[in-house]
Amino acid sequence: MTQLNEDQLIKIRRHLHQIPELALQETETHAYLMQVISEMNQQYLEVREFDELPTAIMVLVHGENPRRTIGYRTDIDALPVTEQTGLSYQSTHPGVMHACGHDIHMTVALGVLSYFSEHQPTDNLLFFFQPAEESEAGGKRAYELGLFKDKWCPDEFYGLHDNPELPAGAIGCRMGTLFAGTTEVNIDIEGKGGHAAFPQDAKDAVVAAANLIVQVQTIISRSIDPIDSGVITLGKIEAGTIRNVIAGHARIEGTIRGLTQDMILLIDRRLQEVCNGIQASFGVKVKLGLNQGGYWPVENNPELTKRFIKYMHDTPTVNFVETKPAMTGEDFGYLLAKFPGTMFWLGVDDDSQLHSATLTPNEAAIQRGVDAITGFLEYRMSAKEEQ
C-alpha cells in the first residue's frame, strides 16, 4: 500500500464506524487497525501489542536521525449509545456507537502514520492507539502498566479531539487547559430510620442530605477564586421508601470539574470538610467517595503549545481557531501530566453534539486534519524550527 488517500481514509472511517466497541472490549477494532497498519510500508515501522492491555497498539516509526521521540495518541473505544443517524454505514453493534468521533480520531492517526511510513521522519514517532478513553481510564492503565518504557517512551505527546462546533478541518487550541479534569462523587449518609411521628427517636438522613447539598453549593461561590473555574454538580439522590417513614440512609452522586489539578484537589478537600461538618451536626455517618481515575485536566505544555499554535496560525492552508476551555473530560490529561504535550481540536462541522445519537461528522475534516498534523510534525522535526 502507498500512502492512504482521502477516498481510502473515508472508507476506513466508515468501516470503523460500523464496528464500535466499548472500553477494553475493542477486539474487532484492534484487528482492523492491525490489518490496515500491516498493509503499510513496514520499512520504518515497528509494531507492538501488549498482553497486559490486549486491545492497545503502539507503532514506532524509526527516524532517520532522531533527537527525540514524538508521541501521537488516538483513542479507539465507543459509547453505549443507540445510533440514530440513518447512515448506510451506521453501527452494526446494537446499542454501541462512535458517538464521540473516535472513528475520526483513528482514521486521522492512520493517515498520519501512513504518510510517515512512506516519508521517513527525522525523529522517532510513536503512535499510540489507546483503548478505554470513555471509561476505565486507558491512558492511566497504559502508564501504570509500564507500556511507555525505553524506546517506547515519548519525549512529548500530541492528540486531538473532534469538535462539531468548528468548521470541518479547522484546528482549535489554546494555551493552558483545554479540557477540565473530572472526579466522580459518591456520598453515603447513614442515619437512623424511624416513624414520621417520632422524629426525636430517629436521625433523618434526608434532612442531613438536604443540608449537605445546600452547603456544597457554597464551595464554588465562597471557596474558589472567581477568576478560576470549578464545578460541583450533585445530579442524583436516593433516600427513603415511603412518605411516613424517616429515612435512615441517603445516597448522593455527582461530579466535580476543574481546569487544574490543584483546583480539583482544593474542591475535594472542601467537600470532605463539608461532609465532616454534616456528620457532626446531625449525628449521622457521612462517607465520601471520590474517584478521579485518569481523568485529569488536559493542561497543555506552554512551550510546546506555543510552538504548535504558531505553526497552525502561520500556515495558510490551516484554519486555526483559538478556543475556550471546555468542562468536558478526557483521559489524555493524565498522560499530559506525565509527558509534556498538547491536545487540540479538529473541527467536524455538525449540528449534533458529542455523545449524541445523531452525531454525523463531516468527513472532509479527515484529510485536512492529516495534512495539518503531518505538516506540524515535519515542522517540529526540522532544523529550521529549532533556531
For residue range 198-231, what is the model confidence (pLDDT) as tens digits? 999 999 999 999 999 999 999 999 999 988 889 9
Whether residue 1 lies inside any domain: the answer is no
Q: How many domains does the chain have?
A: 2
Q: How far apart are CA 140 and CA 153, in angstroms?
A: 14
Q: What backbone torsions phi and psi does residue 74 show, to the nearest 5 degrees? A: -130, 145
Q: How far apart are CA 279 and CA 336, in angstroms?
A: 37
Looking at the fold, whether 326 and 255 belong to one and the same domain comes out as: no
Q: How far apart are CA 6 and CA 263, in angstroms?
A: 43
Mean of the per-residue pLDDT values for the chain?
97
Domain of residue 213, residue span: 181-291
Whether residue 348 lies inside any domain: the answer is yes
Q: What is the pLDDT of residues 47-103, one digit of tens each?
A: 999 999 999 999 999 999 999 999 999 999 999 999 999 999 999 999 999 999 999
CATH number of the domain encompassing residue 267: 3.30.70.360
100 marked ligand binding residue? yes
Q: Apex CA 92: angle with CA 86 and CA 96, to 5°?
A: 90
Choosing from 291, 326, 349, the residue where a domain stops is 291
The residues with which 195 forms a beta bridge, in sequence order, are: 245
- Asked whether the predicted pLDDT for residue 350 surpasses 80, the reply is yes
Whether residue 185 lies inside any domain: the answer is yes
Looking at the fold, whether 319 and 378 belong to one and the same domain comes out as: yes
Choosing from 291, 308, 333, the residue where a domain stops is 291
The one catalytic residue in 26, 75, 330, 349 is 75
Q: How far apart are CA 338 and CA 351, in angstroms?
A: 35
> Contact, 271 vs 288, CB < 8 A?
yes
Say whether 75 is catalytic.
yes
Q: Quote the pLDDT of residue 387.
A: 47
> Contact, 154 vs 60, CB < 8 A?
no
Helix (H, G, I), strand (E, B) or coil at 41: coil
The one catalytic residue in 77, 83, 103, 134 is 134
The torsion angle over the Cα atoms of residues 32, 34, 40 and 42, rounded to 10 degrees, is -170
Whether residue 211 lies inside any domain: the answer is yes
Q: Is 351 exposed, middle or buried (0-12, 13-18, 19+ CB in 10 A)?
A: exposed
Choosing from 269, 291, 313, the residue where a domain stops is 291
144 marked ligand binding residue? no
Looking at the fold, whether 41 and 132 belong to one and the same domain comes out as: yes
Q: Apex CA 95: angle with CA 334 and CA 24, to 5°?
A: 35
Looking at the fold, whether 15 and 148 belong to one and the same domain comes out as: yes
